Structure 1
Amino acid sequence: MAYDPLTLLLWAWIAMAGWMVVLWLIERVRRNTSLADVGWCFGLVAVVADYAYFATGEIERKLLLVVMVSAYGLRLGGYLLLHRVIGKAEDQRYQRLRLVWRLDEPLRMFGYFQLQAAAVVLFSLPFLAVMQNPRPPFGLWELAGVILWMIGITGESLADRQLAGFRAKPWNHDRVCRDGLWFYSRHPNYFFEWVHWWAYVVMAIGIPGWWLTWIGPVVMGVALVRITGIPWAEEQALRTRGDDYRRYQDSTNAFIPWWPKTSQSSSAPFRN
């Protein structure tokens, strides 16, 4: 039995609101707000899988989208779970929020988790739009989108692995990572995350509701570059790595990978 898109979105929001309440209760005990980020990733996978079961559309296309969102969400969610939650101290960005919120912290943290629930529904719209493609699968635009998706997922995974490998070495704890993709961008993981969302725009070219797919790259791009991504990460890096990171800022693009302005100096390891 197929449901109309508005009904699916309503049920997705109700389910994600409940899911985030559970994670918020766990956060009250564990005191690690990165649980919300993990919940966002896993929640997106669950919502899109639900759409694939209940929405109209070609089964082959829906299965493809489930594979794509699962590879994206489970990888990123698993990475965050291992590197930011299990056995890890809470990210300093969230620690500072607790200090700022003070007595209002429990309620504000609840609101933050619920904001993540709404974000799951918002970012599920590109998938739902692509599922409604009235054309038979798979056209050239869809294949081009899959190729772009592979570039985004591969780049983000590689950047995360390179950073994790760098941080795993104890002598690098006070140094700036310039390994691999981090030589060309200060935030290559964010860049390829953004590229990944363009894949659904390309897949949906020419279909009704195409504009919904732009939610992914536009909203995610603004969030990464202007709000919760680069600004927070750079503030923390400047505080912990000081002059080393300032030199990195002077030589290396923040977002789009490119050759450093002074490749010789940017490749050299500096210490604070």
Structure 2
Amino acid sequence: MLRLVLGAWALAAGLQLALWLISQRTKNAAIVDVGWAASFAVVAVWFAAAATTPWQVHAPMLVVVVAWSLRLTLHLVARGAAGGVEEGRYRELRARWAPHAGRAFFLFFQAQAALTAFLSLSLVLPFVVLPSPSLSALRWAGTALSVLGIVGEAVADWQLERFRRANVGQGRVCDVGLWRLSRHPNYFFEWLVWLGHALHCLAYPSGALALSGQALLFASIWKVTGIPATEVQALRSRKEAYRRYQATTSAFVPWWPRRAPPPAPPVEPHG
């Protein structure tokens, strides 16, 4: 298993190195997100090529991971992550890290490769060990949960892109469809994909290893590069409209909107 995970790290690191070199020319570091998404398809195919279990055992994990990875990769490319204008969060990092932004982004890209390798612990077990017969239902429950996550994330991304195209330059907040129930439904359903992987792997010996990657991904979404960075950028660009959205809409888990708080009473002038 260690050989497969180290191989995953090498493949992800090579991919991110190539994308970092491209970003140095285009001055658009958002391509790191394309590498993040695509690296899991590469890793899953590597695991399948080196697998020691029958294909029937690891095929569900392989298909789900490749489907999620390719869908997200194509979405990011279509959104312009591989070229065009750099996203605000990466422009901020470029300004913060100047005059050594190139070196800092190299480390950032490689950190994503290391994270890919760590998260591959949540994927590798079906390729190297047989499941416990008494726990086989967990494999299919996990696969079903991951498929639900893929569909939900795709719907959320589609709704957001459709809203953006219809409201270009208006500064409005997307609060339709799944975005009415959660400020970050795309992150929530991506988390469901990985929760499904973890549930799948609990059917295998040492399956608790999968929970470590799941926990790290949740922490990253909730506290580091996911929700915090996105909300800072949204508040900067949409100001009071986004504050009202925050007051009524769940941050992560889809739920019915809360009632908007009443406006503050006007302050009477003294004298």
Q: TM-score, normalised by structure 2?
A: 0.90
Q: Which residue of 1 aligns with 2:220?
A: 223
Q: Does 1:260 align with 2:257?
A: yes
The CA distance in 1 between the partners of 2:210 and 2:183, in whole Å, is 27
C-alpha deviation, 1:63, in angstroms: 2.1
User: What are the within-5 Å matches in structure 2 for residues 100-139 of structure 1?
Assistant: 100-135=96-131, 139=136
Pairing 1:20–2:16 present? yes
Structure 1 residues 156 and 248: alpha-carbon distance in aligned structure 2, compared to 1, 3 A threshold: same
| Structure 1 contact 34–80 (Cα < 8 Å) conserved | no
Matched, 1:153 2:150: yes
Distance 1:41 1:242, change over 3 A: same
Structure 2 CA distance for partners of 1:87 and 1:19, relative to 1, 3 Å: closer
Determine if contact 1:198/1:216 at 8 Å carries over to the other structure: no
Q: CA deviation digits over 1:193-236, x for unaligned, max 9?
A: 11111112221224212122113321111111110011001001
> What one-letter code is carried by the residue in structure 1 that aligns with 2:144?
I
Deviation readout 1:2-33 (Å, 9 max, x if unpaired): xxx11222222222222211111100011111
Contact 1:133 1:204 in 2 (8 A): no
Instruction: Give the residue type in structure 2 aligned to 1:249.
Output: Q
Provide the aligned C-alpha RMSD in A: 2.0
Partner of 2:93: 97
For the Cα contact (< 8 Å) 2:249–2:256, is it kept in 1? yes
Q: Which amino acid aligns with 1:234?
A: E
Q: Please say if residues 30 and 82 of structure 2, whose CA atoms lie closer than 8 Å, have aligned partners that are also in contact.
A: no
Structure 2: runs of 5+ lacking an equivalent: 263-271
- Residue 269 of structure 1 is matched in structure 2 by none
Cα distance in 2 between the residues matched to 1:19 and 1:147 = 30
Give the share of equivalent positions with the same residue, in percent. 38
Runs of 4+ displaced beyond 3 Å: 135-138, 170-173
Report what 1:182 is aligned to. Answer: 179
Q: Is the 8 A contact 2:8 2:43 kept in 1?
A: yes
Please give the alpha-carbon distance, in whole angstroms, between the structure 2 residues aligned to 1:174 and 1:136.
53
Distance in 1, matches of 2:54 and 2:261, equals 53
On the 8 A contact 2:152/2:186 being kept in 1, the answer is yes
Q: Which 10-residue stretch deviates more, 56-65 or 217-226?
A: 56-65
Residue 87 of structure 1: CA displacement? 5.1
Aligned to 2:200: 203
Tell whether the 8 Å contact from 1:52 to 1:62 is kept in structure 2 after alignment.
yes
Distance across 2 between alignment mates of 1:166 and 1:37? 22
